[in-house]
Amino acid sequence: MTIWLLPALICYAVASVLFAVDFSTRVQRLTGYAVSALAAGAVCHALDLIARGVQAGNIPVANFTQALSFLAWVTALAGLILIVRLRLAVIGALVAPSVLIALGASEAMAGGSGTLPSALRSIWLPVHVTLAFAGEALFVLAATVSLVYLFQESRLKAHRPMLSGHGTMPSLEKLDRINYRLLGWGFLLLTLAILSGALWAQHTWGRFWSWEPRESWSLITWVLYAALLESRLTVGWRGRRAATLTIVVFAVLVGSFVGVSLLYPGKHGGSFG
């Protein structure tokens, strides 16, 4: 544990409460404080990751708990950008608690060495890791936006439109459009992550692909997201169907990330041979 972990957890917790109150009571002046708390949490979290990286001598993603913490930070950062640029404060009520839970879980399960073998300390590490977690963070946000879409649609069908801290909730069309863009960029980053990982594996172990569980599930996830995007482009699946499928595919991503990391991490979580 570093001195920055507790402040990060506190800031994320404060942000979670403020976003929730802002959404449920429509107290508009709380939105700015909620965003500031989330930003402060992301800064403290970044300092925590830097301190851990300095201690280990490498980017802190050497095991599942470190990877979970890093993913939580990238998600918080991406969520902040989405909230501020697109005025989508409503997703903060889901993003902030998710980041808080992920960071808390990573610390509760912390254990094992955080140091990578010298063979894996290369320029490929930050490239591959950043691409992979940035893509996954966008998929987290896509699922979050999809949940908001389904919630808003159900309220509209019941003739009970909801308000957020910034006034009316985003339109269904806007939410669907944001979901599509998040999926597209996330898919691009996932593709680049897989390609960079294959090149790194070839350079380190002399083979592009070893079919270990994480690699296999990454490919399965890639195919599922490719099919989801294809269905939107060719079949025209949008709205409720697209939002539901986004959540289903994201559930597969979460299951593979957690399940494989805990049961058989292989070269991606502590067993580097």
pLDDT in tens, 163-198: 544 455 788 899 999 999 999 999 999 999 999 988
What span, in angstroms and rounded, lies between the C-alpha atoms of 199 and 189?
15
pLDDT above 80: residue 102:
yes
Tell me what pLDDT residue 270 has: 52
Neighbours of 205 (CB within 10 A): 12
Q: In angstroms, rounded to a whole number, what is the distance separating the alpha carbons of residues 141 and 257?
A: 16
Residue 273 has pLDDT above 60, yes or no: no
- For the whole model, what pTM was predicted? 0.88
Q: What confidence tier does 267 reach under pLDDT thresholds 50, 70, 90?
A: low
Count other Cβ atoms within 10 Å, centred on residue 60. 23
Q: Which two tokens stand for residue 123?
A: 């320029």
In whole angstroms, give the CA distance from residue 175 to residue 181. Answer: 10
- Averaged pLDDT for residues 228-241: 87
Please give the helix or strand (H or E) that residue 45 lies within, else none. helix 30-56
C-alpha angle with apex 173: 168 to 178, nearest 5 degrees?
95
Q: Positive or negative, the Cα torsion across 154, 156, 159, 165?
A: positive
Each residue's pLDDT tens digit, 200-231: 888 777 777 777 778 888 899 999 999 999 99
Task: Count other C-beta atoms under 10 Å from residue 235's C-beta.
Answer: 10
In degrees, rounded to 5, the angle at the alpha carbon of residue 39 between the alpha carbons of residues 7 and 139 is 110
> Quick one: which of 7, 36, 8 has its CA closest to 99?
8
Q: Are the C-beta atoms of residues 136 and 68 closer than 8 Å to each other?
A: no
Q: How far is CA 261 from the centre of its chain?
A: 16
84 and 39 in contact (C-beta within 8 Å)?
no
Query: Does 264 have pLDDT greater than 80?
Result: no
Residue 197 has a pLDDT of 87
Query: Is the pLDDT at 37 greater than 90, yes or no?
Result: yes
pLDDT tens track for 71-86: 999 999 999 999 999 8
Phi and psi at residue 110, to the nearest 5°: -55, 140
Q: What pLDDT is stored for residue 91 in this prediction?
A: 92
Q: What is the pLDDT of residue 74?
A: 97
pLDDT of residue 206: 75
Q: Do 183 and 230 contact (CB within 8 A), yes or no?
A: no
Summarize pLDDT for 105-159 with one digit per residue, the tens. 988 887 665 667 666 777 888 899 899 999 999 999 999 999 999 998 887 777 6
CA 273 to chain centre: 28
Please report the pLDDT score of residue 235 as a whole number.
Answer: 79
